[in-house]
Structure 1
Amino acid sequence: MEELVSKIEKLIAPSKGTWGIVLEDLNSGEKWEHNEQELFYAASVIKVPIMASVYSAVESGDLALTDLIILDGKDYVGGSGVLQHFTPGLSLPLQDIIMLMIIQSDNTATNLLIDLIGVVNIQNAMKEAGMVYSTFYNKLMLSRSNPKGANRIAAVDIATLLHKMATGDLVSDPASGRMVDVMKKQQVRDCLPEKLPSPYSDFDHGMTPWELANKTGWIPGTRHDVGIFYVGDRKFIATILSKDEDDLLSKRIISQIGEEIYKYLQ
């Protein structure tokens, strides 16, 4: 993995921003960390531990994926997602709310789940998953933040979460598998997978089939993409966090990192 690390160091070297990166090759056991304990505004990456907390409640029997969630107009918030445009009073299964939170980064879906699980239970689930430095206090797209603090993440914590998910140790093996399947359906594909060949391509010309279970996060000046690469029979965890950088440049660097990871895994 030394050559891959060297290439990524060269990609981020010209950046004036701050990067938190953890790479882990689950086949070889090699790992590389860069500013792994640095805290970043979580943006939508916080939706991954929220998903884990929901599956934990399902695993304990407090919820079922078939439970119906009723949409109330007062719960609608702006930003990404489609639920804010749906008719109030509509009911959707819990599984569909989770799906929308992850694959469309739906903020209304996220807040519905936060209300359902509760802030304290989400915080406890993050601790149980081994997230040491990260914090969670706030629903999304609210005008006033919790005075106790902001939603923040460290690369080492997200990498720990993804490692447990990839190895079947996050909540349970079946729950981990369901979470990976949800993240593989991601529709926001403009960072780590942007330069990768189409998943529907003909791979007879030396390119290896791939899947990526990922979640992006973005606000102006902050851009993240985190996920698990599945390339052939190899698994690789990539946690890429950035702040204080031009949005177009950070997006380009992350997409180049994704390309280099794919080349390495071939």
Structure 2
Amino acid sequence: MRKGSPATLLAVLVALVACVPPGDADGDRDIGTRVEARLAGLDATGALWAKHIPTGREIAINPDLPMNALSVIKIPIMVKAFQDHAEGRLDLDAHYAVETDDMRRGSGLIQTFTPGFQPTLRDLVTQMIITSDNTATDMVIDLVGMERVNEMLASNGYEQTRLKHTTHRLFLETWIRADPAHASLTEREVFERGFPSDEGAAVRSFEIEGDSTIWLGRTTAREMGRLLEQILDAGLVDRDASDEMLEILAAQFYTTRLPRRVRFQGVGVAHKTGDWPPHAGNDVGILFYEGGPAIISVFTNQNRGDFFELEETLGQIAQDIVEAWR
């Protein structure tokens, strides 16, 4: 069995489920208390929802509290792209030129490429997830449509999860907060300027991360966990497309949170991070292991503490849950 392959692990899941004993009430209380204590130890606003798929056991800590999704909101954008491909509206193998005005700062490598190269839509979706590429993100949003992403979420019963802005609009806000006259900056000008670095920039950055009116996306730990469960169950697109999305999530480059410890313990993690360091660090994923899988959806916003400790805590939480739910 190839470690970390969701498709392979899903194939053995059916055989394993029948062997998993029912949940232990005392054990569930113990792991819930331990995870809650770890999250409460951070100087941040935290929320978590976790589910052991074979038994249905759950851990819920502020699971319905609206949170700044940051780049976790890129998961429903990916889902919509796959739905549009299935319906013939878009072709994942079609090529799209990345021009100068498409370039975005922040995470991702496409900004370092020479303008004019032509990745496929599948390439853009993949980079949007595995390197959280912001250039790819805004291009995919333009192709699938922000409102259509939100309509898909609403039609599937997601009340809180919404895509609210493009990455360009979010980055522009960092300049508007410095000086309202910057509202007229073009996409290219925002890219060339990067981010403000004046004396008040850090304080404004913290305020922006906590301002729900200009979040990139809004969600809750429970809703984002449920979305991952729908992908796992092929509830949004067919099995082949769902498996491809799982493979993309499993190729995630950033491993300093949920996979931090468990990836060295035979656990495959298909996940998506969301970042505004040092103010926020989210991670949502499906953990594949013998006795699993389990879903962990955890958000930390408005962090005032050490960011290294935040990431270490998320790694400890994942390890705690895997050990309790093996």
TM-score by length of 2: 0.74
CA distance in 1, matches of 2:139, 2:40: 40
Q: Among residues 102, 105, 109, which one is paired with 1:75 in the alignment?
A: 102
Residue 133 of structure 1 and its aligned partner are, at CA, apart by 0.9
User: Is residue 251 of structure 2 the alignment partner of residue 176 of structure 1?
Assistant: no
SS at match of 1:91: coil
Instruction: Determine if contact 1:98/1:109 at 8 Å carries over to the other structure.
Output: yes
Aligned residue for 1:224? 282
Q: Among residues 91, 105, 111, which one is paired with 1:64 in the alignment?
A: 91
Residue 249 of structure 1 and its aligned partner are, at CA, apart by 2.6
1:187-233 C-alpha deviation (Å, 9 max, x unpaired): 110101111243xxxxxxxx5x3211000111031110000010025
Instruction: Determine if contact 1:130/1:161 at 8 Å carries over to the other structure.
Output: no
Aligned residue for 1:102? 129
Residue 265 of structure 1 and its aligned partner are, at CA, apart by 3.7
1:218-253 C-alpha deviation (Å, 9 max, x unpaired): 103111000001002521110001112222332121
Question: How large is the RMSD of aligned CA atoms in angstroms?
Answer: 1.9
CA distance in 1, matches of 2:129, 2:214: 24
1:29-51 C-alpha deviation (Å, 9 max, x unpaired): 11221111111111110111110
SS at match of 1:195: helix
1:52-104 C-alpha deviation (Å, 9 max, x unpaired): 11111111111121111111110101001010111111111111111111011
Aligned residue for 1:203? none
Residue 185 of structure 1 and its aligned partner are, at CA, apart by 0.7
Equivalent AA in structure 1 for residue 318 of structure 2: G
Aligned residue for 2:62? 35
1:143-175 C-alpha deviation (Å, 9 max, x unpaired): 049x97532111121011011011111233222
Aligned residue for 1:240? 298
CA distance in 2, matches of 1:39, 1:30: 23
Equivalent AA in structure 2 for residue 211 of structure 1: G
Distance 1:233 1:94, change over 3 A: farther
Aligned residue for 2:324? 264
Q: Among residues 120, 139, 145, which one is paired with 1:93 in the alignment?
A: 120
Q: Among residues 196, 199, 212, which one is paired with 2:269 in the alignment?
A: 212
CA distance in 2, matches of 1:92, 1:243: 33
Instruction: Determine if contact 2:36/2:61 at 8 Å carries over to the other structure.
Output: no
Equivalent AA in structure 2 for residue 51 of structure 1: M
SS at match of 1:10: helix
Aligned residue for 2:143? 116
Gaps of 5+ in 2: 1-27, 175-211
User: Rg larger in 1 or in 2?
Assistant: 2
CA distance in 2, matches of 1:83, 1:165: 27
Kindly tell me the number of residue pairs found equivalent between the two proteins.
257
User: Is residue 228 of structure 2 the alignment partner of residue 152 of structure 1?
Assistant: no
Instruction: Determine if contact 1:231/1:265 at 8 Å carries over to the other structure.
Output: no
SS at match of 1:69: coil
Instruction: Determine if contact 2:65/2:220 at 8 Å carries over to the other structure.
Output: yes
User: Is residue 185 of structure 2 the alignment partner of residue 185 of structure 1?
Assistant: no
Of Structure 1 and Structure 2, the greater strand share is in: 1
Instruction: Determine if contact 2:291/2:325 at 8 Å carries over to the other structure.
Output: no
Equivalent AA in structure 2 for residue 156 of structure 1: R
Instruction: Determine if contact 1:53/1:126 at 8 Å carries over to the other structure.
Output: no
Equivalent AA in structure 2 for residue 257 of structure 1: I
User: Is residue 309 of structure 2 the alignment partner of residue 249 of structure 1?
Assistant: yes
SS at match of 2:252: coil
Instruction: Determine if contact 1:42/1:153 at 8 Å carries over to the other structure.
Output: yes
Aligned residue for 2:15? none
Gaps of 5+ in 1: 199-206
Instruction: Determine if contact 1:27/1:234 at 8 Å carries over to the other structure.
Output: yes
Equivalent AA in structure 1 for residue 268 of structure 2: E
SS at match of 2:260: coil
TM-score by length of 1: 0.90
Aligned residue for 1:10? 37
Distance 1:134 1:44, change over 3 A: same
Equivalent AA in structure 1 for residue 308 of structure 2: L
User: Is residue 125 of structure 2 the alignment partner of residue 125 of structure 1?
Assistant: no
